Chains A and B, each alone.
Chain A
Amino acid sequence: AQTVTQSQPEMSVQEAETVTLSCTYDTSESDYYLFWYKQPPSRQMILVIRQEAYKQQNATENRFSVNFQKAAKSFSLKISDSQLGDAAMYFCAYRSADGAQKLVFGQGTRLTINP
């Protein structure tokens, strides 16, 4: 079974600075998808960024980018120019490419932005 580990329960960063959230995973599969979801106090799960394992190029979405290291099974999220609205719980998630569609989540990292 796949597992996802986020070793940072909490992180904080000054507004406008850069922060990196860590995520490692364990799988024997060669094809899969990785995601970062954001959960603000509203409870709504919001997709931040996704990465297909077959793509070597790291995904980027505006201020958000990932460092995907397939051999090391590492998938970190970098947030540049942090904004107060980035404060939330961030979850790393894994999904097989086998059609099952279910997600395996990490424990989450609570990100605080200091003004």
Chain B
Amino acid sequence: SAVISQKPSRDICQRGTSLTIQCQVDSQVTMMFWYRQQPGQSLTLIATANQGSEATYESGFVIDKFPISRPNLTFSTLTVSNMSPEDSSIYLCSVGAWGSNTEAFFGQGTRLTVV
């Protein structure tokens, strides 16, 4: 199993500002994922973050808005830039399966409110 620490757990931010969310894993993992969960909605993948290469973004998400860093195999950050109220969501970090383990593990999420 993997233990994922994500912080902050919640924040209230002013529109036009940026917030960086941190994700720390207790073991080395190849792939880390960032999901967005809008109020009352399901989880949507923002991007896949691999160590040593640029993140791969899903359709509808761009690097200028959601820059991601992956400096090593246990850590990643997601920045939500130039925020607007529409960015109010829960953002979740996840690590994928490795070896024969098919389970994905999630951080506890960051609840972001933009005012």
Instruction: List residues of chain A with CB under 8 Å of any chain B CB.
Output: 33, 35, 42-45, 47, 50, 52, 91, 95, 100-108
Contacts and interface: CB of A to CB of B under 8 A. Distances in A.
A52 B102 contact: yes
B33 interface: yes
Contacts of A104: 45
A95 B111 contact: no
Given A43-B111, A101-B31, A102-B33, A91 B43 contact: yes
Interface residues of B, number: 20
Interface of B: 31, 33, 41-45, 48, 90, 92, 94, 96-97, 102-104, 106, 108-109, 111
A95 B41 contact: no
Given A43-B111, A102-B96, 11 more contacts: A42-B108, A43-B92, A43-B109, A45-B94, A100-B48, A101-B31, A101-B33, A101-B48, A101-B104, A103-B104, A105-B43
B57 to A, nearest CB: 12
Contact of B92 (A33, A35, A45, A100): A45
20 contacts: A43-B90, A43-B92, A43-B109, A45-B43, A45-B92, A45-B94, A47-B104, A50-B102, A91-B42, A91-B43, A100-B48, A101-B31, A101-B96, A101-B104, A102-B31, A103-B43, A105-B43, A106-B42, A108-B41, A108-B42
A44 B42 contact: no
A102 B48 contact: yes
Closest 5 CB pairs of A and B: A101-B96, A45-B106, A43-B109, A105-B42, A105-B43
